[in-house]
Chains A and B, each alone.
Chain A
């Protein structure tokens, strides 16, 4: 009896999460949503989305990759510096770079607009959105790398490399980076996933000529047929689900090291 109840609750919870998704996906491949499935299945809507929003998809991918590069270049050394110099100052810096997590994206975007809004060239460029994404995703990279670095005896490993003749740069690339790799990978997947899916902040920063994937999604919901919007959701799922799976796998690996 207890088991049956458990199963029922589990199935209900799964249904609660899955039914809207399935319905939305189905709507994206239905000829006419208001007539229902009986009107037939089609991939035409996906084609329409591609025609209308391919640029959004590529823009999002581009921004996500650029965001990844920037967070790697800033985040990995930052995590290293924090891990090597534990102390009150490091805690403070850590809290400070984590602030964007607690502040609503809208507020962050407003601050960026106030600061840079008058620089027209920058304001109209995709790099403006990139700056917002970097601010928002950087703490995830830093924390992910830092937790792996904190779990290994970094100081002694580096001292070992130093006695063997390795200068600071060699130590960083030969010892620090390879041993932080699981954390870097987990952080990288998180950054890409978050950047592709980010809406709050991007919606404030975007221009009519620069719509990212989620902004395009909102646009299609507001102004297109429901079938097109749903087909768009479908494309979004196809892109984001593999990333989510990879992210989970990578974090599990990173956690094995932290143990």
Chain B
């Protein structure tokens, strides 16, 4: 099902604008992630799509050709997975999964058949008869997903579905969730503040900041070609280099870097993994801290730019704090943005 959102905004009674007017189009079967820090409006947007919150006047929500703007939540046929799962403690796993089908007034036999099907799909067979209180966090998450999916919703909405789990489990369930959503073949919107989650699960990611969509695109596009400083920092962990650009030269306190193209008046950014230690590099910097992170070292450097510059260094050894090192950054890995985009 295609989803069309036009002019969706949310202003709270106090005047706080949680969401600025937003347009969004989601294609049939597409999985889109709303990614952003807390307070960016991503959950508000999701809840407006679900019908759990009302948008400001002038909004338009269409599910395929049906105008849903003024439909109450119970008539929108959306499946939703809540951050806290919101499973009914007074019902068993089966009862929870069958509840939406019961609401559709289906005959008993059909409900049972569909519940069995979804239980098998989500590999919940051993837990079907259990009470919700007897499940682990990961099992609850799958039951919540199964419950949302069982009534064949037109759209699946997931609000931080993994954030209630501990870190070790999260990685594993992230891949499971991605695989299940593909298997469902359903249009889905998935809210998260974790960029790894967004990239692993979504076809397209809408990065949100301060109530607006900063950029929407495939994970690769966001990572490689961020259109503003917020996306560059949030998705790519890019650092502003500062300094002064003259033609294709970037003058920094620690030396001069070459750029791929003349970029007068623009601002330059770089990612820590693109900063290399090199004997013959053009930048000089002093090591201020070294953190060993298993696969690599994270080295904090001062003197090269106005701020602290980080370098992710893969190698058997790292320089010691206090040492002076030389750095190189390849011209094509330096991102340049116009001042207005750099300020966003």
Contact = CB atoms under 8 A, between A and B. Distances in A.
A165 B82 contact: no
A179 B89 contact: yes
Interface stretch (A45-53, A96-104, A154-162, A195-203): A154-162
Interface string A141-162: 0000000000011001101111
Interface string B146-175: 011001000001000000000000000000
A172 to B, nearest CB: 13
Nearest to A162: B73
A164 B103 contact: yes
B103 A156 contact: no
B191 interface: no
A163 B50 contact: yes
Interface string B64-104: 00000000111111111010101111100000000110011
Contact of A167 (B74, B82, B89, B147): B74
A166 B75 CA distance: 9
A166 B74 contact: yes
Contact of A161 (B72, B79, B99): B99
Contacts of B86: 153, 156-157, 159-160
Contacts of A163: 50, 52, 73-74, 76, 78-80, 148, 157
Given A165-B104, A170-B103, A174-B99, A160 B151 contact: no
A164 B52 contact: no
A170 B100 CA distance: 12
A178 interface: yes
Contacts, number: 67
A114 B157 CA distance: 59
A218 interface: no
A54 interface: no
B99 A159 contact: no
Interface residues of A, number: 19
Interface string A173-189: 01100110100000000
Interface range, B side: 20 to 34
Given A175-B90, A179-B90, A160 B103 contact: no
Nearest to A181: B90
B303 to A, nearest CB: 51
B99 A156 contact: no
Nearest to A175: B88
Nearest to A178: B90
B45 to A, nearest CB: 16
Contacts of A157: 86, 88
Given A165-B103, A165-B151, A166-B103, A160 B74 contact: no
A153 B85 CA distance: 11
Q: Which of B76, B78, B90, B151 has the most CB of A within 10 A?
A: B90
Nearest to B77: A165
Contacts of A178: 88, 90
Given A159-B73, A175-B88, A179-B89, A164 B151 contact: yes
Contacts of B51: 162
B77 A160 contact: no
Contacts of B84: 153, 156
A162 B87 contact: no
A181 B90 CA distance: 10
B90 A165 contact: no
A179 to B, nearest CB: 5
A164 B82 contact: no
Nearest to A158: B86
A162 B147 contact: no
Q: Which of A160, A166, A178 has the most CB of B within 10 A?
A: A160
A11 B74 CA distance: 62
A162 B74 contact: yes
A68 B207 CA distance: 55
Nearest to B89: A179
Interface string B96-120: 0001100110000000000000000
Contacts of A179: 88-90
A162 B79 CA distance: 10
B50 A161 contact: no
Contact of B100 (A152, A164, A175, A181): A164
A164 B146 CA distance: 12
Interface of A: 152-153, 156-157, 159-167, 170, 174-175, 178-179, 181
Given A159-B73, A163-B76, 8 more contacts: A152-B89, A156-B86, A163-B50, A163-B52, A164-B151, A165-B151, A178-B88, A178-B90
A-B CB proximity, top 8 nearest: A160-B86, A165-B103, A164-B100, A178-B90, A163-B80, A156-B86, A162-B73, A162-B74
